[in-house]
Amino acid sequence: MEIKSNSRQSMRLKHYDYSNQGLYFVTICSNGKSCLFGEVDNDKMHLNDSGHILELCWRDLTIRYDTICLHEFIVMPNHVHGIIELKNNDKALGEIIGAYKSITTNQYIKGVRENNWPSFENKLWQRNYYEHVIRNELSHQKITDYIKYNPAKWCDDKYFVKQP
């Protein structure tokens, strides 16, 4: 792993070009793993208003970036999982995720002001995000299933935080 100047480790593959065509599995976590986007009940994710906004903003990425295709996606109480396909090399994955985080943060701040959504401390999203390059169809199917069935495994999820 490459070490950045501020002593944080990069999770990216060294020497990999993240604008390469292909499929990428991403996970983006709320700052401090705060459960702000809904709750899991009876193995189903129930989005609150902010969770619906996150879902809408994800779908709208294809308007902003017409050279991507969005595959499986889910909003969980404190994170999102999604598969993004880059169809050509004109945009980097980091740029797309950065735009998503910025757009959703602005929408969430608006919701806090106008609709009394729970506020967040300092930042909505944790710094960085997790990504995995999907290299074959079997991996794609396993990750798709993981995303689909994530609510049923919420209590065992590494991002699980017991809700009050």
Beta-sheet pairing, 38-41 with 22-29: unpaired
Query: What pTM did the predictor assign?
Result: 0.88
Give me the mean pLDDT over the 146-160 stretch: 91
Q: At 136, phi and psi to the nearest 5?
A: -155, 170
Looking at the predicted structure, is the pLDDT value of residue 10 above 70?
Answer: no
Give me the mean pLDDT over the 13-36 stretch: 87
pLDDT attached to residue 16: 67
Alpha-carbon gap, residue 104 to 135, rounded angstroms: 29
Looking at the predicted structure, is the pLDDT value of residue 4 above 60?
Answer: no
The answer to whether 121 and 32 are in contact (CB under 8 A) is yes
Cα–Cα distance list, 88 to 41, 78, 96, 141, 151 (Å): 39, 31, 13, 22, 32
Give residues with Cβ within 8 angstroms of 4, minimum separation 6. 10
- pLDDT (tens digit per residue) in 94-138: 999 999 999 999 999 999 999 999 999 889 999 999 999 999 999
Looking at the predicted structure, is the pLDDT value of residue 18 above 50?
Answer: yes
All domains in the chain, ordered by first residue = 22-149 (3.30.70.1290)
Average confidence score pLDDT of the chain? 90
Looking at the predicted structure, is the pLDDT value of residue 67 above 60?
Answer: yes
